[in-house]
Amino acid sequence: MSEHSASSSSLRQRLMRGFGATALSPVVTALIQLGSVPVLLHVWGVAKYGDWLLLSAIPSYLTLSDLGLGDASGSEMSMRVAASDREGALETFQSSWVLVTGVSFAILLLALLFVWWIPWQLWLKLSSVSSRQAAEIISVLGAYVVISQQNGIAESGYRSDGHFASGAFWMTLLRLAEVVTATVIALAGGRFLAVAAGYFVVRALGTIGYALLLRHLSPWIRFGIRHARLKTIRQMAAPAFGFMAIPVGYALSLQGFTIVIGAMLGPIAVVSFSTLRTLSRLSLQLTVVIKHALWPELSRAFGAGDVSLARRLHRHACQASLTISALGCVSLWLVGPYIYRLWIRQNISFDGACFHVLLLVVIANSLWDTSSVIPMSTNSHCRIAVIFSGVTAVSLGLACVLMRPLGTVGAAIALLAADGCMAGIVLRTSLSHVQDTPKRFAVSLLVTPRFRQALPNALEG
């Protein structure tokens, strides 16, 4: 077998394992969303479940304390390993771990000092918990988020050494385990604080196991400070802050809209919008599979200077994502109301206008989110990440204006405006990186895919 054929075969095997492992994620996400939501609505009722959504949204902003170094480290390590520089990859790994651990725990401690003084019940219009109870719940969930950030650094090790599939598989099982545990606690009559503690305990135990498995698969990747370098941290500062801007944008888009809707329209409107958005985004789970499975291979391709391979993978990924999201949204447009009524079974009316706008949001999001893996795989995403945060912040303001006359439909329209804007910005950036033209890229999206040949052509083209 020639060297080129062997390389293509190895890449194909890694991609197949990666797609297989990440394909489990949307299945688990669907089980979590479609299974836990009606159960919790039944146990807690609409208003109380709305309180839980609001409280669990607050700690998500602590994800900013990882400084984006988990993703930046993964891309940098993958490129270094592709260039046969394991020593440099280990330096990147330990430098990222030291900074993430120090900063995230420092921010958690700072948050714990102030969380008790905030009138949560008044600010969030909570109906079932006092401000002190809210502070206790937010504190535990904040600790859960900080522990979870350790997984981001460990995942960069899995990704860089060809074990992305293993890391993705076990992380998906951990997500399932913690949700099942929390749901069982709620069914047994546990309060919000007990449910939050269930999340924390399972995540903490899972994080230890995840780190030990990485040590077993890649003995050269070690947690510690011996190889950490301030110079490396400084070199990664720009891409890391770029990745930090991405969770800022998503936090504003997901939890931010939840908080704003709750403050303006109340917890029942939060439940209505959140459940409609969850249902509309079912097909988006499949496009995320494509993005994350390709990410380590794109970093390897750019690290090896193979722009042609990166271009072909980008075209096939965007075509697949657009096709999946479009077919999924057409299907949900037709049967969504029936699924929603069977799923929720509560006194929450189906808002067709809001749901239809949210389906259009999914199509726009699937295209730009998949394409964004190109600059992210080379740590050259800073510009689009900052723009994303800014656009999402503006969309929150637009939502506040539109919600007064239109209710939750106004929030959905604001999301559509933001994702439409991002689609144009990200595609221009990605096409530049892979040396593609808008015309040729558009033609590649319209070519009828032959699925059995798409992957071989992408690898060998």
Least Cα distance to 93 among 142, 148, 160, 28 occurs for 160
CA 46 to centroid of chain Cα atoms: 26
Least Cα distance to 289 among 23, 12, 28 occurs for 23
Q: What are phi and psi of 430, to 5 degrees?
A: -65, -40
Tens of pLDDT along 171-204? 889 999 999 999 999 999 999 999 999 999 999 9
Q: What is the dihedral of CA 80, 86, 92, 98, to 10 degrees?
A: 160
- Are the C-beta atoms of residues 233 and 383 closer than 8 Å to each other? no
Query: SS3 of 174, please?
Result: helix
CA gap 211, 242 in Å, rounded: 26
List, in order, residues 6 or more apart from 233 with CB less than 8 Å away: 95, 96, 98, 99
CA gap 351, 181 in Å, rounded: 32
| Low-confidence stretches of the chain (pLDDT beneath 50) | 1-6, 65, 451-461
Predicted local distance difference test score (pLDDT) of residue 424: 92
Tokens of 246: 């991405």
CA 378 to centroid of chain Cα atoms: 18
- Determine if residue 407 is left, alpha or beta; phi over 0 gives left, psi from -120 to 50 gives alpha, anything else beta: left
| Residue 217, domain extent | 3-460
For tokens 């981001």, the residue is: 152
Predicted local distance difference test score (pLDDT) of residue 449: 53
Write the DSSP symbol of residue 191. Answer: -
Predicted local distance difference test score (pLDDT) of residue 256: 82
CA gap 198, 191 in Å, rounded: 11
Least Cα distance to 292 among 40, 2, 14 occurs for 14
Predicted local distance difference test score (pLDDT) of residue 237: 66
- What number of other Cβ atoms are within 10 A of residue 273's Cβ? 26
Number of domain units in the chain:
1
- What number of other Cβ atoms are within 10 A of residue 442's Cβ? 10
Least Cα distance to 50 among 192, 201, 187 occurs for 192
CA gap 370, 354 in Å, rounded: 24
Each residue of 171-201: b (16+ CB within 10 Å) or e? bbebbbebbbbbbebbeeebbbbebbbbbbb
Tokens of 393: 């912040």
CA gap 344, 247 in Å, rounded: 29
Q: Number of C-alpha atoms within 13 angstroms, CB side, residue 257?
A: 29
Q: Which amino acid is at 425?
A: I
Element of type H or E holding 38:
helix 37-44
Q: What are phi and psi of 266, to 5 degrees?
A: 100, 170
- Are the C-beta atoms of residues 363 and 420 closer than 8 Å to each other? no
Rounded to the nearest 10 degrees, what angle do helices 267-280 and 257-265 cross at?
140
Instruction: Indicate the length of the chain as a whole number.
Output: 461
